[in-house]
C-alpha cells in the first residue's frame, strides 16, 4: 500500500533535489554582476604635487614627523593602518622629483613614488559632442552606464511633442534615429502624431534618451529606454491643466513607468493632483520641474505630494539663479547656468526655435532641463530591478550628493546616477520577506480549505525540510548559505550568491539584471511540471508543495507590489493578470500536493 515511510523518503528526495540544484548552480556561468560594477581595467593618472612614501613597517608616528621636518614635507599616514603598513602621503609638494631624490636616500624608506590615482574605466560614448556635456559627467553617467541604460523602460515626455517622425513638414532629428519610441498622443490637436512645433519637448526627450554611442551629436541618460511622446503644450509652450491631467492618466494607463513633466504653473489644480496620485498608484514615477521663478515657490505639478520636484544647478553645483526652491523640492540636477558663459547650458539635439523643420543642437537652461536627468535615472533604476516608485525615489534620494539632510534649496541633494544605482543595489541585497509571509498565509488558508481528515498540521508542513527548503528557495532564496559561507569561508562564489536569491529571479541575475522578467519563469510552469511528476511519484509531493506554495507567494506578491515588466508579453496590462493567474494556479497545485492520502 504505497510507501511505508513517506517522511524518510521525502527527506531523502529533498536532499537529493537540493543537491541537484546546488550542482546546477555551480555549473551555471558566473552571473553578470551589475551592482557596484567596476571593470577590471583601470586608467591611472599621476596626482599633481603628491607622492606616496612606504616607510619600514611599524615605524612610529614620531619618526615620521621627524622625517617630515627634515625633508620639509607635509606627511600624513594614508589610512588607519598607519604605522603598521608605514604608507604615508605627502601633499602640496612643489618639486616632486627633487623631493623623491631626498626621500629615497633614507634608510627607513622602503619605496617612494609619485602618487597615482586609479580611475575605473567607464563607458564613454563616441558621440562627438559628448565632451561638452558637463552635465552627464556631473551625475556620473559613464559609471552608471556600466550598470544600466534603462533598457525597455517606457518614459513619457509630456511636453510640446517630440521631433520623432518625418511626416508632413515635421522631421525626426538625426540624433533620435535609433532611439526607440512607443505610441503617444497629441492632446492639443487630438491626433496620434505628437510632433514638436516648439523645440522644448525634443530637447527634454534628448536628455532622457538621445541616440547614444552612434557617432552623432550628443548622449542621453537612459538611451535604451523607450520614449512615449505626448503633446500637451502648444507651439508657444503653453497648455491647460486639464490636458495635462488627461495626459498623465493616459501615459500611466499605456505602460509608462516614468513621466517627465518639464512644465508648470502657479495655479493649484485638484484634477491634476489626482492624476499624479493615479499615475503613482499605477506604479509610475512622476518627475516634475520645480519652476524658473527663482523664488521659494515650487510650481505645480512639482509641488504635489506624489511628484518628484526637481530644481536646477549649474556646472559649479550651485543652485541656478532662475531655479525655484522650497518645501516641495525633492532633488536638484544639472539644468545649466548661462550667466557663467557659453557652454554652461544643457546641450541636446532639437529643432530650431521658430522653425521646427530644422534640426539643431541647442544649449538651453532651466529646471525643464534638470528634470529629464532625474527621469532618465529613474528609468535606469527601473531597468536595474527597482519595482515601485517608492524604491526608485528612495534610491534617487539616498544616492544624491548631499550633507545627509534635506534642505529647501537642494532637496535631498544633487542627482548622482551611479550613486542611485549603488543605493538600489544596497537595498535589493536586503531580503524581502513579504513573499515568504504571503506563502505562510496562503498555506494556512489552503489547509483550512481542506477537509479535516485530509488536512496535515500547519507546522508539520512548514517544519518538514522537504517542504521548507523549496519554499524558502522560491520566496527569499537560501540566504543562510551565503551567511554561513561568509562566516566560515570568506567571500562566497557566484553560485552561492545566485542560490541566495529567489528562484524566479535567477534568470535575471544569470542573464543580466537589466532585463525584464521572463513570463515563463514568472509562472506556474515549474511547479506544474513537478506536480505532474508527483502524480505518480508521491514521495516528492512535499517538495512540490513547497515549490508551488513559494512560487504562489512570490508571484502574488510581485503582482501586489506592481511587478516588474514581463518581457515578451504583447501588452503591459497583461503582466499583473498573468502573475495573479499563475499565482493562484500555484496555490491550487500546492493544495493538491498538501492533501493527505487517506487509507481506504
Partner 1 sequence: MKLRGTVQFRDVEMGVWVLSGDDGHTYQLAGGPPTLRRAGQRVEVEGDVDAGAVTVAMVGPVLRVRGFRAVG
User: Would you tell me which residues interact with partner 1 (CB under 8 A)?
Assistant: 159-160, 198-200, 232-233, 236-242, 244, 262-267, 269, 289, 291-293, 299-300, 322, 324, 338, 353, 364-369
Contact 315, 167 (CB under 8 A): no
Phi, psi of 90 (to 5 degrees): -115, 125
The C-alpha angle with vertex 236 and arms to 311 and 212, in degrees rounded to 5, equals 55
Phi, psi of 241 (to 5 degrees): -65, -30
Output 90 or 158, the one with its CB closest to partner 1.
158
Phi, psi of 348 (to 5 degrees): -145, 170
What SS3 state is found at 379?
Answer: helix
CB of 325 to partner 1, least distance (A): 13
Output 362 or 495, the one with its CB closest to partner 1.
362
368 catalytic, yes or no?
yes
CB of 355 to partner 1, least distance (A): 13
In sequence order, the β-bridge partners of residue 348 are: 362
Contact 19, 481 (CB under 8 A): no
**What is the rounded distance in angstroms from the CA atom of residue 594 to the CA atom of residue 377?**
46
Contact 541, 593 (CB under 8 A): yes
Output 115 or 232, the one with its CB closest to partner 1.
232
**What is the rounded distance in angstroms from the CA atom of residue 474 to the CA atom of residue 456?**
22
CB of 240 to partner 1, least distance (A): 6
253: Cα separation from own chain's centroid: 22
Output 239 or 399, the one with its CB closest to partner 1.
239
Output 211 or 247, the one with its CB closest to partner 1.
247
Which position among 10, 127, 200, 254 bears the catalytic label?
200
Which position among 83, 241, 269, 368 bears the catalytic label?
368
203 catalytic, yes or no?
no
Q: 10 Å Cβ neighbour count for 131?
A: 11
Q: Exposed, middle or buried by CB within 10 Å (0-12, 13-18, 19+), for 288?
A: buried
CB of 199 to partner 1, least distance (A): 6
CB of 214 to partner 1, least distance (A): 26
What SS3 state is found at 452?
Answer: helix
CB of 233 to partner 1, least distance (A): 6
Output 86 or 199, the one with its CB closest to partner 1.
199
Nearest CA-CA partner of 150 in 322, 384, 421: 384
The three-state DSSP-derived secondary structure of 4-66 is CCHHHHHHHHHHHHHHHHHHHHHHCCCCCCCCCCCCCCEEEEEEEEEEEEEECCCCCHHHHHH
**What is the rounded distance in angstroms from the CA atom of residue 285 to the CA atom of residue 171?**
29
CB of 563 to partner 1, least distance (A): 32
313-319, long-range: CB within 8 Å, 24+ apart, which pairs?
313/337, 313/370, 313/414, 314/340, 314/344, 315/134, 315/135, 315/138, 315/340, 315/344, 316/340, 317/138, 317/414, 319/409, 319/410
Q: Exposed, middle or buried by CB within 10 Å (0-12, 13-18, 19+), for 219?
A: buried
Which position among 127, 146, 159, 196 bears the catalytic label?
159
**What is the rounded distance in angstroms from the CA atom of residue 510 to the CA atom of residue 321?**
47
CB of 357 to partner 1, least distance (A): 17
Output 369 or 377, the one with its CB closest to partner 1.
369
Output 217 or 366, the one with its CB closest to partner 1.
366
CB of 299 to partner 1, least distance (A): 5
CB of 174 to partner 1, least distance (A): 21
Output 148 or 350, the one with its CB closest to partner 1.
350
Strands (E), 180-235: 180-181, 185-186, 226-231
190 catalytic, yes or no?
no
The C-alpha angle with vertex 164 and arms to 347 and 195, in degrees rounded to 5, equals 100
Q: 10 Å Cβ neighbour count for 415?
A: 29
Output 266 or 296, the one with its CB closest to partner 1.
266
Q: Which residues are catalytic?
A: 159, 200, 368
Amino acid at each position: 500500500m504505497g510507501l511505508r515511510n513517506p517522511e524518510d523518503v521525502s527527506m531523502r528526495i529533498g536532499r537529493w533535489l537540493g543537491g541537484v540544484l546546488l550542482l546546477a548552480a555551480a555549473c551555471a556561468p558566473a552571473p553578470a554582476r551589475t551592482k557596484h560594477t567596476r571593470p577590471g581595467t583601470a586608467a591611472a593618472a599621476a596626482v599633481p604635487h603628491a607622492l606616496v612614501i612606504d616607510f619600514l613597517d611599524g615605524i612610529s608616528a614620531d619618526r615620521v614627523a621627524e622625517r617630515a621636518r627634515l625633508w620639509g614635507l607635509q606627511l600624513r599616514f594614508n589610512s588607519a593602518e598607519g604605522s603598521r603598513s608605514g604608507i604615508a602621503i605627502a601633499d602640496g609638494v612643489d618639486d616632486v622629483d627633487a623631493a623623491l631624490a631626498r626621500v629615497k636616500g633614507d634608510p627607513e624608506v622602503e619605496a617612494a613614488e609619485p602618487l597615482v590615482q586609479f580611475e575605473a574605466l567607464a563607458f564613454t560614448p563616441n558621440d562627438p559632442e559628448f565632451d561638452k556635456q558637463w552635465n552627464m559627467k556631473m551625475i556620473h553617467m559613464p559609471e552608471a552606464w556600466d550598470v544600466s541604460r534603462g533598457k525597455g523602460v517606457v518614459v513619457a515626455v509630456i511636453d510640446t511633442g517630440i521631433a520623432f517622425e518625418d511626416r508632413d513638414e515635421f522631421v525626426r532629428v538625426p540624433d533620435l534615429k535609433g532611439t526607440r519610441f512607443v505610441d503617444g498622443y497629441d492632446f492639443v490637436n487630438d491626433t496620434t502624431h505628437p510632433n514638436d512645433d516648439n523645440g522644448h519637448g525634443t530637447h527634454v526627450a534628448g536628455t532622457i534618451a538621445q541616440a547614444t554611442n552612434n557617432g552623432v551629436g550628443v548622449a542621453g541618460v537612459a538611451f535604451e529606454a523607450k520614449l512615449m511622446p505626448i503633446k500637451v503644450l502648444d507651439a508657444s509652450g503653453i497648455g491647460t491643466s486639464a490636458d495635462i491631467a488627461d495626459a498623465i492618466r493616459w501615459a500611466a494607463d499605456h505602460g509608462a513607468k516614468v513621466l517627465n513633466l518639464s512644465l508648470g504653473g502657479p495655479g493649484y489644480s485638484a484634477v491634476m493632483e489626482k492624476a499624479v496620485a493615479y499615475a503613482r498608484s499605477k506604479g509610475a514615477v512622476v518627475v516634475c520641474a520645480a519652476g524658473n521663478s527663482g523664488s521659494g515657490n515650487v510650481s505645480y505639478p512639482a509641488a504635489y505630494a506624489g511628484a518628484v520636484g526637481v530644481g536646477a544647478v549649474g556646472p559649479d553645483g550651485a543652485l541656478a539663479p532662475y531655479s525655484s526652491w522650497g518645501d516641495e523640492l525633492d532633488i536638484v540636477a544639472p539644468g545649466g547656468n548661462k550667466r557663467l558663459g557659453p557652454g554652461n547650458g544643457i546641450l541636446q539635439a532639437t529643432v530650431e526655435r521658430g522653425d521646427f523643420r530644422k534640426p539643431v543642437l541647442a544649449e538651453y537652461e532651466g529646471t525643464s532641463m534638470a528634470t529629464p536627468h532625474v527621469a532618465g535615472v529613474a528609468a535606469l533604476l527601473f531597468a536595474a530591478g527597482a519595482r515601485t516608485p517608492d524604491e526608485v525615489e528612495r534610491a534617487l534620494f539616498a544616492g544624491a550628493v548631499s550633507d545627509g539632510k534635506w534642505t529647501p534649496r537642494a532637496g535631498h541633494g544633487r542627482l548622482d546616477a551611479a550613486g542611485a544605482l549603488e543605493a538600489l543595489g544596497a537595498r535589493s541585497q536586503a531580503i524581502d520577506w513579504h513573499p515568504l509571509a504571503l506563502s505562510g498565509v496562503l498555506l494556512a488558508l489552503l489547509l483550512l480549505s481542506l477537509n479535516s481528515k485530509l488536512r496535515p498540521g500547519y507546522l508539520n508542513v512548514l517544519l518538514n525540510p522537504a517542504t521548507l527548503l523549496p519554499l524558502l528557495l522560491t520566496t527569499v532564496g537560501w540566504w543562510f548559505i551565503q551567511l554561513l559561507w561568509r562566516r566560515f569561508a570568506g567571500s562566497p562564489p557566484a553560485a552561492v550568491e545566485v542560490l541566495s536569491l529567489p528562484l524566479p529571479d535567477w534568470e535575471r541575475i544569470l542573464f543580466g539584471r537589466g532585463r525584464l522578467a521572463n513570463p515563463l519563469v514568472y509562472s506556474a510552469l515549474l511547479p506544474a511540471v513537478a506536480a505532474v511528476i508527483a502524480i505518480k511519484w508521491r514521495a516528492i509531493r512535499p517538495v512540490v508543495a513547497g515549490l508551488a506554495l513559494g512560487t504562489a507567494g512570490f508571484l502574488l506578491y510581485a503582482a501586489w507590489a506592481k511587478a516588474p515588466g514581463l518581457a515578451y508579453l504583447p501588452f503591459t496590462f497583461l503582466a499583473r493578470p498573468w502573475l495573479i493567474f499563475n499565482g493562484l494556479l500555484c496555490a491550487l497545485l500546492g493544495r493538491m500536493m498538501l492533501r493527505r492520502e487517506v487509507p481506504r
